[in-house]
Amino acid sequence: MFPARRARWLFALSLLVAAAKAKRPSFSTPGLFNIDVGLANVDGIVAALGDFNADKLTDLFVLDSAQHTVTVFAWSEASYSFTPIGTPLSYDPSSPSSVTIVNIVPGDFNYDGKLDLLIMAKADPAKPDGELLLRVYYGNGVDSFASSYVDLPSATTAQPFVVDFNGTMTPDLMGYPFADSQTLSVWSPIERPHPYAANLTEAQHSQPCVFSSPHSNTFADFDGDCLADMLFTCQNAAGGLSLQIWINNKQEGFTLAIQKDLPKGAGQITVSDMDGDGTIDLVFPVCEGSTCSIHVAYNKQIPLCASASQTGCRDPHDLCVADPAFDFQFAADAETHVAITVASILGTGEHLATDAGLFKGPLPIPLRIGDYNNDGYPDLLVVTTLSDGSSKVRILESYPCASSVCSAQAVSGKRRAFQAQRSGVTALDAVDGQKLGAAFMDLNEDGTLDVLVFSVVNNVYKISALYNNYYNDAFFLKSLVLNGVCPGWCPTGEKFPSPRPYGVNYAGASFKFNVMDTSGQRRATQVAQLSQSSYLSLQTPYCLFGLGRTNNYVEDFFVGITRHQKEHFASYQGVIPNSQLIIIPYQQGDDGPSSWQLELYVNPSAAVGPCLLVLCTSLVILSTIVAVLHWLEKREDEIEKRKALHVINFDAL
């Protein structure tokens, strides 16, 4: 249950904070608008997102155009802009230009509640193979990194990705060490700053996987038990790609559950619950020549119960139950696989861009996923190329499958398709230069996803911020799971100088919830926190998801972590929409989820001011009416008293 006193206090505080916000953009028409948030003159590309100074506001890690230094840009609510803090960080401070940075990964690598930075760099990024250097700089949680660093053993070009392999809530890395490129290994920077062989059961020896480069490796829950599993994309001997999913069995390790070939020409895989059925689906582009399509492989699991009497389904109050028979189908005519040609969405002459060729090193362009209109169904942000060589960024809005674009099986299965957002995108189309990519981000933590676009203009990197001013009659929920390093301020528990651990970037958390829409239909949704970390994945440290239109609370909200213990998830009831939830899974000894802390911050809408004015006006009017009626009643009593004084009692005469 929520701590009621804390919830009331935080609610009041959130109202005061909202009232104090300054310089928030205001536009009279719906759409996207290019705004200056302090990045207009920055020569760089956003390489990662994270809350570096632990103020519950998302900051940016910007990689300069030479790819030699990283600068932290902290968000300021007062100025509504990003401001650089600290000094730029390079892989080798004594010789910044000696290597080229190809990826950075924020995370709490020494488990002290403060955000650190893992830098991946190469001496020659143009070489398809070679040594990938790994170095960790520790942050102070306020404004800078330590001058000292920790070197990890080098890896191969296939970038290691973040997992919690040991179930300790600390970020491990999985990949191939350069010294032993044939052995799939795990780096554990805290306990052992060197790789050790990953025990993936005997099945790994009979079903070897050589990571594709670039790969789409993912750490998320696929079988529905709120415990993160692993997805690998593997290089086949024939040159194609295959997929492996390894199920997390806690202390027993990981076991291979699915191995299937991907369609020819498949690109980067991203994951999200695309149809609102409470399961994680796979989304990826497929391009053969100039013909591209968007594929969604839906996760086939036990369906959600529509009524209490229904059997063979998942009870909405018990969502974190594994389905060992889960499956993905990649056949074109399967009910759980939808392929939509880009030409049917954007017309001929416009194709998907799948690689940022101007970036030094491998940088695939995935399909970015985010619910920009908060209707409960994720949308896509894609980069396209035109016949004249120029490029654009498009928002593809999710809508129910129709027979004109989907198969009959997909329509009957209530799957989703996409259509290009044509209204209010003038500012998006006006962004100059060759596009390197784009990403969703909630700029001021107001519950609406804005857009960042990265482009190259005259060999200079540019960052454009587009404010989302679409009006959406829908609710949202924002959630964040910390790594449980401490219950309050870390590590001493004192408020100063150590910050609360709001910026630890914990990968592998799972969220599941169900909500009732206005028509009385119950819908479940699953979301994964920081599921990918390679090739500038640009995932937000929090999870923001739309609830659609609802007139009720979120009935059941489940939170799963990767700690190896009997109970790895907690549930909360009656969560308020338009709120931010911060879950701190701190526990001592064998304490379970009952000891976890939950903080709830209510996000007031823009109508708080008018509502407060109406409330005060109503109180004044009602108070006036009460005062007038009281005065009239008192006056009537006085008249009655005066009349009584003049009454003659004839019986007394």
pLDDT tens digits, residue range 357-411?
889 999 999 999 999 999 999 999 999 999 888 899 999 999 998 888 888 888 8
pLDDT computed for residue 533 by the predictor: 95
What mean pLDDT value characterizes the chain? 86
Give me the pLDDT at residue 44, please.
94
Provide the pLDDT for residue 1: 42
State both tokens at 264. 């020819």
Share of the chain above pLDDT 90, in %: 54
Distance CA 264, CA 266 (A): 6
Q: What separation in angstroms does the CA of 244 have from each of 191, 204, 236, 254, 407? A: 28, 10, 12, 12, 27
**CA nearest neighbour of 471 among 448, 440, 441, 439:** 448
Query: Helix, strand or coil for residue 219?
Result: strand
- Tokens 């479940």 correspond to what residue? 524
Residue 603's pLDDT is 67
Tokens of 527: 């979301």
> Greater confidence, 224 or 208?
224
Q: Which of 100-109, 134-143, 471-480, 598-607 has the highest mean pLDDT?
A: 100-109
* pLDDT of 454 above 50: yes
Residue 8: pLDDT band with limits 50, 70, 90: very low
Q: Which pair of tokens denotes residue 550?
A: 């609802």
**pLDDT for residue 200:** 58
Choose among 463, 505, 497, 465: nearest CA to 481. 505
Q: Say how many C-beta atoms besides its own lie within 10 A of residue 146's C-beta.
A: 11
The CA-atom distances, in angstroms, between 467 and each of 17, 36, 418 are 20, 10, 22
The pLDDT score that the predictor gives to residue 197 is: 52
Q: Which residue has the higher pLDDT, 606 or 554?
A: 554
- Dihedrals φ, ψ of 415, to 5°? -85, 180
Q: What is the pLDDT of residues 40-86, one digit of tens each?
A: 999 999 999 999 988 889 999 999 999 999 999 999 988 999 999 98
In angstroms, rounded to a whole number, what is the distance separating the alpha carbons of residues 517 and 508?
28
Q: Which sign does the torsion angle of CA 406, 410, 412, 416 carry?
A: negative
Lowest-confidence pick of 165-169, 439-443, 551-555: 551-555
The two tokens of residue 37 are: 């948030």
Percent of the chain with pLDDT over 70: 89
Q: Over the range 409-423, which residues count as b (16 or more CB within 10 Å of their CB) and which as e?
A: ebbebebbbbbbbee
The region that residue 384 occupies, defined by phi over 0 for left and psi between -120 and 50 for alpha, beta otherwise, is: beta
Confidence of residue 653 (pLDDT cuts 50, 70, 90): low
Q: Which two tokens stand for residue 54?
A: 């632990």
Q: How far is CA 635 from the centre of its chain?
A: 65
**CB 653: neighbour CB atoms within 10 A?**
5
Q: 452 falls in which pLDDT band (50, 70, 90)?
A: very high
Strands (E), 31-80: 32-35, 44-50, 59-64, 69-76
Contacts with 78 (C-beta within 8 Å, 6 or more apart), sequence order: 22, 23
Q: How far apart are CA 508 and CA 498, in angstroms?
A: 25
pLDDT of 271 strictly over 70: yes
State the pLDDT confidence band at 307, using cuts at 50, 70 and 90: confident
List the beta bridge partners of residue 101. Answer: 121
Q: Which positions ≥6 away from 121 have C-beta within 8 Å? A: 91, 99, 100, 101, 102, 132, 133, 135
Q: Residue 244 burial by CB count (10 A; 0-12/13-18/19+): exposed, middle or buried? A: buried
Using alpha carbons, select from 202, 215, 205 the residue that is nearest to residue 242: 215
Number of DSSP helices (H) and strands (E) in the chain, helices first: 6, 37
Residue 595 has pLDDT above 50, yes or no: yes
Residue 431, pLDDT score: 94
pLDDT of residue 220 exceeding 70:
yes
Confidence of residue 297 (pLDDT cuts 50, 70, 90): very high
Q: What is the pLDDT of residue 605?
A: 56
Mutual angle of helices 608-645 and 4-20, in 10-degree steps: 110
Give the pLDDT score at 639.
83
- What pLDDT sits at residue 608? 63
Per residue in 152-183, pLDDT tens? 999 999 999 999 998 999 999 999 999 888 88
Q: How confident is the model at residue 192 (pLDDT cuts 50, 70, 90)?
A: very low
Residue at 319: amino acid letter: L
Query: Any residues with CB less than 8 A from the CB of 514 and at least 6 apart, and which?
Result: 278, 304, 316, 319, 522, 523, 524, 525, 554, 555, 556
The residues, ordered by sequence, that sit 6+ positions from 609 with a Cβ below 8 Å of its Cβ are 19
Helix, strand, or coil here: 577? coil
Query: How far is 338 from 203, CA to CA, in rounded Å?
Result: 30
Query: What is the Cα–Cα distance from 184 to 535, expressed in whole angstroms?
Result: 19
Q: Cα separation of 5 and 156, whole Å?
A: 52
Q: 191 Cβ partners below 8 Å, 6+ apart?
A: none
Token duo for residue 603: 């996000």
End-to-end CA gap in the chain: 76
pLDDT the model gives residue 190: 54
Q: Which of 514, 506, 470, 466 is nearest to 485 (CA)?
A: 506
The pTM of the full predicted model, rounded to 2 decimals, is 0.87
